[in-house]
Amino acid sequence: MEGIGYFIDAVMTYPFLQNALIAGVLVGIVCGVVGCFIILRGMALMGEAISHAVLPGVVIAYMLGASFFIGAVITGVLTALGIGYISQNSRIKDDSAIGILLTGTFAFGIVLVTTIGSTSVDVWHILFGNVLAVSRSDLWMTLGITIGVLILIFVFYKQLLLSTFDPTMAKAIGLPTRLIHYMLMFILSLVTVASLNTVGIILVVAMLITPGATAYLLTDRLPVMLTLSAVFGVTSAVVGVYYSYIYDVATGASIVIVATLLFTLAFLFSPKQGVFVRWFRRMTTSKA
């Protein structure tokens, strides 16, 4: 309790900690919501590819004096297009194309970072985040991306719903399923940019997948899943920032560890899907 009181006092005192908490909450919400569609559409590996692919875009944007946002979105969308082009015009399947472009773009980004040789580009913070160093301008950008992404999902919710659960029917009634797919890739690029300072490029895939997977174990209804996933994302961010500040450990990693612990609890004790719950039911049935 003393640690919680100390943390609350610090939040009330230090603006950087306030920024960190707000950024963590925003990223937890947007990653949780978008991650549900990534999981349900079987695109977890694609999400990882896009999140890694933004690195060269971020570095090139820095070299040109442009916004990180522009560079990340361009490289993210180009990577999604490249994966589709390779799988459609060769014998290479989607998973192999994703692996090739994921590693290739990420390696290219690392080479660019080392080529710059500037201390103003901290590769550690790009890769793993530094939420305690979030500036007010970063916070506004994260807020804008979060609001924009949530509006897109709200406006195209029915199209996303149908194309996710019944893509054949979606095509039959004339929905542009390929355009919806690339819109989701665009959203994924935006979310990665929003998460750069919080958990970094490497750990953003965990925030996209883990809260949504946790919610998926607890419900079969998409609206409930979206809500639970956002709640788990926010909880992971707040608790992760707390432990990071109190025990002086990496913030991004702390957030991901909390998210993983929540998933573990759901995996073991979910009322319908929990391992222990199913085992207990089998034991009860066998005794009866």
pLDDT tens digit sequence for 136-173:
877 888 899 899 999 999 999 999 999 989 888 888 89
User: What is the DSSP annotation of the chain?
Assistant: -HHHHHHHHHHHH-HHHHHHHHHHHHHHHHHHHHHHHHHHTT-HHHHHHHHHHHHHHHHHHHHHT--HHHHHHHHHHHHHHHHHHHHHSSS--HHHHHHHHHHHHHHHHHHHHHHH--TTS-HHHHHH--GGG--HHHHHHHHHHHHHHHHHHHHTHHHHHHHHH-HHHHHHTT--HHHHHHHHHHHHHHHHHHHTTTTHHHHHHHHHHHHHHHHHTT-S-HHHHHHHHHHHHHHHHHHHHHHHHHHT--HHHHHHHHHHHHHHHHHHH-TTT-HHHHHHHHHHHHH-
Predicted local distance difference test score (pLDDT) of residue 287: 64
Q: What is the mean pLDDT of residues 248-262?
A: 90
- Read off the pTM: 0.87
Confidence class for position 118, pLDDT limits 50, 70, 90: low
Predicted local distance difference test score (pLDDT) of residue 89: 82
Predicted local distance difference test score (pLDDT) of residue 120: 52
pLDDT at 125 over 80: no
Highest mean pLDDT among 45-59, 183-197, 222-236, 264-278: 222-236
Confidence class for position 2, pLDDT limits 50, 70, 90: low
Token digits for 37?
A: 């569609």
Predicted local distance difference test score (pLDDT) of residue 215: 95
Cα–Cα distance measured from residue 227 to residue 178, given in angstroms and rounded to the nearest whole number? 26
Residue whose token pair is 């009634």: 173
Residues in the chain: 288
pLDDT at 88 over 90: no
Cα–Cα distance measured from residue 188 to residue 181, given in angstroms and rounded to the nearest whole number? 11
Predicted local distance difference test score (pLDDT) of residue 136: 80
Q: What is the Rg, in whole angstroms, of the alpha carbon atoms belonging to the chain?
A: 20
Token digits for 222?
A: 């998409």
Tell me the CA distances in angstroms from 71 to 5, 29, 67, 74, one per residue in order: 41, 23, 7, 5
Cα–Cα distance measured from residue 20 to residue 221, given in angstroms and rounded to the nearest whole number? 32
pLDDT at 261 over 90: yes
Residue whose token pair is 């490029």: 201
Cα–Cα distance measured from residue 189 to residue 248, given in angstroms and rounded to the nearest whole number? 30
pLDDT at 1 over 60: no
Predicted local distance difference test score (pLDDT) of residue 239: 93
Sorted by where each starts, the structural domains of the chain and their CATH numbers stand as 16-208 (1.10.3470.10)
Of 207, 284, 241, 285, the closest CA to residue 29 belongs to 207
Task: Classify residue 245 as exposed, middle or buried by CB count within 10 Å of its CB (0-12, 13-18, 19+).
Answer: buried
Q: What is the mean pLDDT of residues 230-240?
A: 94
For all residues of the chain together, what is the average pLDDT?
85
Q: What is the mean pLDDT of residues 82-104?
A: 84
Predicted local distance difference test score (pLDDT) of residue 288: 57
